[in-house]
Structure 1
Amino acid sequence: MALDKILSIGGKPGLYRLLTQTRTGFVGESLLDGKRVTVGMRSNVSVLSEIAIYTLEEEVPLKEVFQKIKEKESGKKTAISHKAEKIELEEYFFEILPNYDEDRVYTSDIKKIVQWYNLLVENKITDFTSSDEEPVTSDEEE
């Protein structure tokens, strides 16, 4: 499953798999507990494939950051918890993305990235390179 079907919903913990769209929003399934939730159009929703991380030169797509974590951790969960101390999280993230913009990427962002990566690995969603290798046009028919 590609990251363009995985959502972060403002005010709700974890990540959600997009199941279907409705007239007034969409239905998502939690990756944490499998419960379904209906979300309206006014909710703050982010698609993981659209998120990027600031570096000193450019913005790096989140899927590339996840791929770097996957390579560092050999496809397993991270060695560090998202609840670790600020300095530990920053040191870990510096190993993953040495040129990240420390003024624009906050510790809370790093915590989310580590937590989301571990949640995706738990749900066996680890193919972060598929959209680069295959044409994406067939998925974007809207």
Structure 2
Amino acid sequence: MSLDKIVSISGKPGLYHLRAQTRSGFIAESLTDGKKIPVGLRHNVSVLSEISIYTLDGEEPLREVFAKISEKEDGGKAIDHKVSKDELEAYFFDVLPNFDEDRVYASDIKKVIQWYNLLQANDLIESQTEEVADAAKSDEEE
């Protein structure tokens, strides 16, 4: 499953998988508890495939950040997102050494790690790592 169908909904905890489209929005299923909720046009929805992290060189797509975390953790779970700000930043420096400290806040790092752990718990990270490897391979061939 790609990140194209995984969304974050403002005001709602966790991540959701888009299940069906309705006339006034869509139905989303929580990755945490499996409950389905209707999502209307009044909700702010962010598709994970469209999110990037600011770096000193530009922007790094979230799927590549997830792949780097997965590589660092050998496909396992990352650190707990509830650790201190300093621990979060130190961990993120190991994963993405050139992230822009002025534009990427501790709350952003916390959210990325929380999302990674949620995707990893639902066995969605391995497919993301393969997609990044395939994309890198096709870039090299061109």
Give your verdict on TM over 0.5: yes
Q: Which amino acid aligns with 2:85?
A: K
Residue 100 of structure 1 corresponds to which residue in structure 2?
A: 99
Shift of 1:133: 2.8
Q: Distance in 1 between matches of 2:100 and 2:67?
A: 19
Paired residue total? 133
Q: Distance in 2 between matches of 1:90 and 1:47?
A: 24
Q: Distance in 2 between matches of 1:75 and 1:69?
A: 8
What pairs up with 1:1-142 in 2 under 5 angstroms? 1-78=1-78, 80-126=79-125, 127-128=127-128, 129-130=130-131, 133=134
Worse-superposed segment, 26-35 or 121-130: 121-130
Residue 140 of structure 2 corresponds to which residue in structure 1?
A: none
CA contact (8 A) 1:7 1:16 kept: yes
Q: Which amino acid aligns with 2:118?
A: L
Q: Distance in 2 between matches of 1:24 and 1:59?
A: 33
Provide Cα deviations, 1:60-95, integer angstroms capped at 9, x if missing partner.
0000000000000000101x2100000000000000
Q: Distance in 2 between matches of 1:45 and 1:4?
A: 12
CA contact (8 A) 2:7 2:47 kept: yes
Q: Distance in 1 between matches of 2:50 and 2:133?
A: 14
- Percent identity over paired residues: 63
Q: Which amino acid aligns with 1:133?
A: D
Shift of 1:132: 6.5
Worse-superposed segment, 14-23 or 125-134: 125-134
What SS class does the counterpart of residue 119 from structure 1 fall into?
helix
Residue 139 of structure 1 corresponds to which residue in structure 2?
A: none
Q: Which amino acid aligns with 1:130?
A: E
Provide Cα deviations, 1:98-135, integer angstroms capped at 9, x if missing partner.
0000010000000000000000011010121427737x
CA contact (8 A) 1:2 1:131 kept: no
What SS class does the counterpart of residue 107 from structure 2 fall into?
helix
What SS class does the counterpart of residue 114 from structure 2 fall into?
helix
Structure 2 regions of 5+ residues with no counterpart?
A: 136-142
Q: Give the TM-score, by structure 1 length.
A: 0.90
RMSD: 1.2
Query: Of Structure 1 and Structure 2, which has the larger fraction of its residues in helix?
Result: 2
